[in-house]
């Protein structure tokens, strides 16, 4: 299963900060959200909302870094931002991103001024700024915890959303027919390079595989697929199915999706062998997005 996850950036802060008395965690999170949304509004991006799974993922990572004395997106035990989000009740359909920061000698009481300073430094860092201003995120989480060993603080921002299938932001969505034709062209290009006759596209075979992929993609499992019994391919014929899934990869079907799924199949021997086999003559294809970040692609090749 393909599961895109955006690269995560690191920020270390060394400034000594001063501020007013300790504010409630909820107030600091609300301020962090306001700062992020003000920055997004300046770039005509939709506002984010706080969610408890992202808050919990941020709290868990900030506390773990402070307790174990490390500073990284991957925990010593191997956990990632996506792992922490899933453990807190998040869904695998989402793209997850994370910003981390720390300051020495600035603690021990987190204040509003600390929140503002961390945000300002993240916005001045291109990789952190990219996460804050990413058009594919919709949810936000935040934690700011004491780091006693350094008399400082550790801050974590977490983000989640449907993501984008680059360059989805500027791409027109494909119709099912356009996606199938594009898949056919990409596979046939590989078949020609191998000296194999091209496939032809069969609309009834595409419809048969599309009917087996539900609109709610969270309910889809590859094991539920059956070889389509259309066009006389069952019985004496042969049908091979290639399946791909991704989460956090955008809300609509684009050319980038077709290229990614077909490219993955052509690079994997278990899929490339049948897709490039001369015994198969016909292609059916479907690619669906449910708007949450999940996408499923299925190709069926058939021969008599």
The residue-averaged pLDDT of 156-165 equals 90
What pLDDT is attached to residue 15? 31
Q: Does 167 sit behind a cis peptide bond, omega within 30 degrees of 0 on the bond before it?
A: yes
How crowded is residue 291: how many other Cβ atoms within 10 Å of its Cβ?
12
CB neighbour list of residue 160: distance below 8 Å, 6 or more residues apart: 51, 53, 54, 85, 90, 94, 95, 96, 97, 137, 138, 139, 248
Rounded distance, CA 57 to CA 174, Å? Answer: 35
| Cβ atoms of 272 and 196 closer than 8 Å | no
Mean per-residue pLDDT for 81-103?
93
Check residue 272 and give its pLDDT.
Answer: 96
Residue 24 has a pLDDT of 63
Q: DSSP string of 160-216?
A: EE----TTGGGPPPPPHHHHHHHHHHHHHHHHHHTT-PPPEE-HHHHHHHHTTS-SS
Q: Which residue has the higher pLDDT, 7 or 34?
A: 34
pLDDT the model gives residue 18 = 33
CB of 158 within 8 A of CB of 96?
Answer: yes
Residue 83 token pair: 């792992």
- Domain spanning 21-161: CATH superfamily: CAP (3.40.33.10)
Backbone CA torsion sign across 119, 120, 123, 128: negative
- Using the predicted structure, report yes or no on whether residue 17 has a pLDDT greater than 80: no
Percent of the chain residues past pLDDT 70, beyond the cut: 87
How far apart, in whole angstroms, are the C-alpha atoms of residue 154 and residue 152?
7
pLDDT score, position 234:
46
Lowest-confidence pick of 107-116, 166-175, 219-228, 251-260: 166-175
The token pair that represents 149 in the structure block: 């060993």
Which pLDDT score is estimated for 170?
A: 57
Tell me if the pTM is above 0.85: no
The reported pLDDT for the residue numbered 169 is 53
Which residues sit opposite 79 in a β-bridge? none
Compute the distance between CA of residue 36 and CA of residue 30 in angstroms, rounded to an integer.
10
Q: Are 249 and 261 in contact (CB under 8 A)?
A: no
Residue 8 pLDDT grade (very low, low, confident, very high; cuts 50, 70, 90): very low
Query: Is-contact 40 48, C-beta < 8 A?
Result: yes
Q: Do domains 21-161 and 176-303 have the same CATH topology?
A: yes
Residues with Cβ < 8 Å from 51, sequence gap 6 or more? 139, 140, 141, 160
State the pLDDT confidence band at 228, using cuts at 50, 70 and 90: confident
Residue 166 has a pLDDT of 56
**pLDDT at residue 231 above 60?**
no
- Cβ within 8 Å of residue 56, ≥6 positions away: 88, 89, 141
Least confident of 25-29, 30-34, 83-87, 232-236: 232-236
Per-residue confidence (pLDDT) for residue 227, from 0 to 100 = 74
Indicate the pairing of strand 295-303 with strand 238-246: antiparallel
| Residue with token string 């920020």 | 11
The tokens describing 279, both together, are 């015994």
What element of type H or E holds 121?
A: helix 112-123
Q: Is 80 exceeded by the pLDDT of residue 167?
A: no
* Per-residue pLDDT, 19: 39
Average pLDDT on 95-100 reads 96
- Token pair in block for residue 142: 């935040």
What's the CATH code, domain 176-303? 3.40.33.10
- Domain range annotation of the chain: 21-161, 176-303
62-86: b or e for each residue (b if 16 or more CB lie within 10 Å)? bbbbbeeeebebebeeebbbbbbbb
């Amino acid at each position: 299963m393909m599961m895109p996850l955006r690269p995560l950036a690191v920020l270390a802060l060394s400034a000594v900060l001063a501020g007013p008395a300790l504010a409630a965690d909820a107030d600091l999170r609300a301020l962090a959200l306001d700062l992020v949304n003000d920055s997004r509004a300046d770039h005509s991006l939709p506002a984010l909302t706080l969610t408890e799974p992202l808050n919990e993922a941020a709290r868990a990572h900030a506390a773990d870094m402070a307790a174990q004395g490390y500073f990284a997106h991957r925990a010593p035990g191997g956990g990632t931002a996506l792992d922490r989000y899933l453990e807190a009740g998040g869904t695998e359909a989402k793209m997850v991103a994370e910003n981390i920061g720390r300051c020495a000698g600035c603690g021990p009481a987190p204040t509003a001024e600390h929140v503002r300073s961390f945000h300002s430094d993240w916005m001045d860092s291109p990789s952190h700024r990219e996460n804050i201003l990413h058009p594919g995120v919709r949810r936000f989480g935040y934690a700011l915890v004491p780091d006693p060993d350094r008399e400082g603080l550790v801050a974590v921002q977490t983000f989640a959303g449907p993501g984008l299938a680059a360059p989805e932001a500027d791409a027109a969505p494909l119709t099912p027919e356009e996606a199938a034709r594009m898949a056919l062209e990409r596979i046939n290009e590989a078949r020609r390079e191998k000296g194999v006759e091209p496939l032809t596209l069969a609309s009834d075979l595409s419809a048969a595989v599309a009917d087996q992929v539900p609109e709610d993609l969270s309910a889809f499992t590859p094991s539920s697929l059956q070889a389509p019994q259309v066009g006389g391919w069952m019985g004496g014929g042969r049908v091979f199915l290639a399946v791909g899934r991704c989460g956090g990869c955008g809300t609509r079907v684009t050319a980038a999706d077709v290229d990614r799924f077909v490219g993955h199949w052509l690079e994997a021997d278990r899929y490339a062998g049948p897709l490039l086999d001369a015994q198969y003559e016909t292609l059916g294809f479907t690619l669906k997005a449910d708007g949450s970040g999940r996408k499923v692609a299925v190709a069926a090749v058939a021969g008599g």
